[in-house]
C-alpha cells in the first residue's frame, strides 16, 4: 500500500502548494505512481499549477465531498513535460474554485471521516506509491482528522517568528492525535542564512526531523504559479533540494515496510 503524506502549514504564504506540485512531479519522474489531492476546499489552487480548469472538469474533490461522485472519478492524469513516457504516473484530484462549491463548505464544513475512509481505497484503486494531500493552512476539524490518519505529516514553515510560534501549537496538536511521523520542511530561506543552522534550530525547537531546508528563489516568484517549478527549472538549486525531500519521503516509506527483527 502506498504512503499517505499530509502537507500542512500553520498559516498561508509558506509556498505549500507550489512545493506539493513539485514534489509530486519529482516523485513521478523517478517512476513512481503519485497523486496530489487538493483538500483545501476553501482556497483551492494546485490545479492552476498543472494547467487544469477545475470548473471545466466533470468531477472534482468538491463533488466527492458533496456526494456526487466516487473519489477515483475525480482523479485526472497529468501529462507533464519532464516525466518520461513509460515511467511514473501523476494524478491530480482538484477542488472546484467557484462560489457555489465553496459557500456550503464555509457554512457547514464536510464529513472528514468519510474522506478518510476513502483515501486508502483511492491508493489501492490507482495503485499509488505516494498520495500527497495539500491541506488548508491553520486549524480546522477536517485538517486535523486527516492528519490523524496520515502516514507522515510534513509541516512547512518559513524561518519567521510567527511561523515558529504557530507551528509549536500545530505540533502539539499532532502529537496528541498520535500522528506517527512528523517531519519539517523549511521553505523560503533567504541568502545569508545557513541552511544547516536553520535546520538545527527547527529540530531543536520541535524535537522532530527536518528533511529539507529550501532556499528562496526569485525564479519561483517570477513564475507566478504558471506551471510546476521543478518542471520549468529542472537544473535549479531549489529543484535539487526538493528532489532530496522526495528521497527522504520515499526512504521513510521503505523503512516502514522493513519487517522488524524476528518477524515472520
Residue 263 lies in a domain: no
Residue 264 lies in a domain: no
Determine the structural domain holding residue 146 and report its residue range. Answer: 3-246
Residue 130 lies in a domain: yes
Residue 91 backbone dihedrals phi, psi, to 5 degrees: -115, 150
Residue 195 lies in a domain: yes
- pTM score, two decimals? 0.89
| CB-based contact 35:132 (threshold 8 Å) | yes
Residue 256 lies in a domain: no
Residue 253 lies in a domain: no
* Residue 241 grid cell: 533540494
CATH number of the domain to which 225 belongs: 3.40.50.300
- The SS3 of residue 251 is helix
Q: What is the pLDDT of residue 104?
A: 54
| CB-based contact 54:47 (threshold 8 Å) | yes
CA angle 163, 164, 167 (to 5 degrees): 75
Q: Which of 175, 174, 133, 129 is nearest to 6 (CA)?
A: 133
**Number of folded domains that form the chain:** 1
Sheet holding 33-38, edge to edge: 76-78, 89-93, 33-38, 130-134, 3-8, 152-157, 182-189, 210-215
pLDDT tens for each residue of the chain, 264 residues long: 699 999 999 888 899 999 999 999 999 999 999 999 998 777 778 999 998 886 778 998 888 888 889 999 999 999 877 787 777 999 999 987 654 554 555 555 556 567 778 899 999 999 999 999 998 887 766 666 677 778 999 999 999 899 999 899 888 888 887 887 899 999 999 988 899 999 999 999 999 999 999 999 999 999 999 999 999 999 999 999 999 999 999 987 655 544 433 443
Residue 254 lies in a domain: no
Residue 258 lies in a domain: no
Q: Whole-angstrom Cα distance, residue 199 to residue 185?
A: 9
Q: What is the pLDDT of residue 97?
A: 61
Q: What is the pLDDT of residue 77?
A: 94
Amino acid at each position: 500500500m502506498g504512503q499517505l503524506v499530509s502537507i500542512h502549514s500553520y498559516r498561508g504564504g509558506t509556498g505549500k502548494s507550489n512545493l506539493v506540485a513539485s514534489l509530486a512531479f519529482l516523485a513521478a519522474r523517478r517512476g513512481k505512481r503519485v497523486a496530489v489531492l487538493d483538500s483545501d476546499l476553501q482556497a483551492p489552487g494546485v490545479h492552476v499549477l498543472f494547467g487544469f480548469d477545475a470548473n471545466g472538469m466533470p468531477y472534482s474533490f468538491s463533488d466527492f465531498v458533496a456526494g456526487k461522485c466516487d473519489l477515483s472519478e475525480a482523479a485526472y492524469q497529468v501529462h507533464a513535460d519532464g516525466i518520461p513516457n513509460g515511467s511514473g504516473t501523476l494524478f491530480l484530484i482538484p477542488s472546484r474554485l467557484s462560489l457555489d462549491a465553496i459557500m456550503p463548505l464555509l457554512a457547514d464544513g464536510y464529513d472528514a471521516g468519510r474522506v478518510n475512509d476513502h483515501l486508502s481505497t483511492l491508493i489501492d484503486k490507482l495503485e499509488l506509491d505516494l498520495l500527497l494531500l495539500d491541506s488548508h493552512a491553520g486549524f480546522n476539524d477536517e485538517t486535523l482528522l486527516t492528519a490523524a490518519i496520515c502516514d507522515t505529516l510534513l509541516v512547512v514553515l518559513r524561518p519567521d517568528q510567527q511561523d515558529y510560534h504557530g507551528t509549536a501549537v500545530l505540533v502539539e496538536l499532532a502529537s496528541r492525535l498520535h500522528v506517527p511521523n512528523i517531519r519539517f520542511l523549511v521553505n523560503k530561506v533567504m541568502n545569508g542564512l545557513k541552511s544547516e543552522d536553520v535546520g538545527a534550530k527547527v529540530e531543536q525547537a520541535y524535537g522532530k526531523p527536518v528533511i529539507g531546508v529550501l532556499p528562496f528563489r526569485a525564479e519561483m516568484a517570477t513564475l507566478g504559479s504558471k506551471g510546476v517549478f521543478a518542471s520549468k527549472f529542472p537544473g535549479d538549486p531549489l529543484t535539487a533540494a526538493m528532489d532530496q525531500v522526495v528521497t527522504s519521503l520515499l526512504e521513510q516509506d521503505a523503512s516502514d515496510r522493513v519487517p522488524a527483527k524476528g518477524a515472520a
